[in-house]
Amino acid sequence: MDLIRHLRFFVAVADKGHFGRAAADLEMTQPPLSQGLRRLEEYIGTPLVHRTQQGAVLTSAGAQLLPHARSLIDDSDRFLTEAVRVAGARAVVRWGACVALPDRLLTACVAALCAETDAAVTTESGTTVDLIDAVRSGKCDFAVVELPTLVDGVEAGPVTKIPRWVVVPKDHRSAHIERPRFPMLSDLAFAAPPRAGNPGAFDAVRDLLRERGLEVDTTSAPDDRAVLAAVAAGTHFGMSTTRPGSAPGVAWLHLAPAATALQVRLVWRTGADIDRYVAALDRVVFRERVR
């Protein structure tokens, strides 16, 4: 039997206290209403109303069960409303971008994804470690992550190198000579994202600095904004994908551009049907590559 429909009969009779008025409220005739209520009573094994010449009076069981009947009907209505909303909701493309990805590239990626689909595009910014976990778990469909890093459990695209500059305070001695060298930065601390966010990338940069004759203390700076702020304060140097000249108080050095470039790649869930999105992001990132 259609339990919710028959519960509506019961609630209508209880509210109106009369079969005729309840039938009119439900826009039906009285006989099928009365028959339906009897069928409900037989189904649950107890009378719900006393039928009198004056109308209908709830039995003790009816009075006790009426609140539960209302609750079930309300839940049914909410379920149907939500089902309609879900059925009509836009699909969602969920992607992630590592914090090292420059703003200009992040917004270009979003624009490229929006051009590929009518779905809503949501972006998660985070560390490479967190983004790969998000892709593995299905929280993100795909992500642009920084290398080097482990990509176990996900599919991975080709590596692209994006220009990244060494940034120093504008008044630092290295900013005013034609051929600066890494050892000239020894009086500055190094502002860099925390190692936990991507141990491989962190260690690779520290190894590069040591190879170039520079041992430094490192200060945690979670993203490009924090790096540039520390540099502008006059006490740190760092590496940034922000283009030269766009931050007062900062100077950009052309030091070992191939070695300092930001290496990124796209990762996605195994079996995910995202070829067109991967192609769209590859086109955007490829335009920024180190030439």
Asked if the model's pLDDT at residue 89 lies above 70, the reply is no
Instruction: Give the tokens for residue 106.
Output: 């992040």
Listed in order, the ranges of the chain carrying CATH 3.40.190.10 are 92-160+263-287, 164-260
Q: What is the pTM of this model?
A: 0.68
- pLDDT of 129-160, one tens digit each? 999 999 998 889 999 999 999 888 899 988 99
What gap in Å lies between CA 224 and CA 230, rounded to an integer?
A: 10
Instruction: Give the tokens for residue 132.
Output: 């790969």
Listed in order, the ranges of the chain carrying CATH 1.10.10.10 are 3-88
Range picked from 225-229, 246-250, 286-290 for highest mean pLDDT: 225-229
* Domain 164-260 in this protein, CATH class: alpha beta
Tell me the β-bridge partners of 215: none
Q: Cβ(241)–Cβ(100) under 8 Å? A: yes
End-to-end CA distance of the chain, in Å?
Answer: 71
- pLDDT of 257-280, one tens digit each? 999 999 999 999 888 788 888 888
- Helix, strand or coil for residue 227? helix
CATH number of the domain located at residue range(s) 92-160+263-287 in this protein = 3.40.190.10
pLDDT band of residue 241 (cuts 50, 70, 90) is very high
User: Considering all CA atoms of the chain, what is the largest pairwise distance in Å, rounded to the nearest integer?
Assistant: 106
Given CATH 1.10.10.10, say whether it is the number of domain 3-88: yes
Instruction: Give the tokens for residue 267.
Output: 């990762």
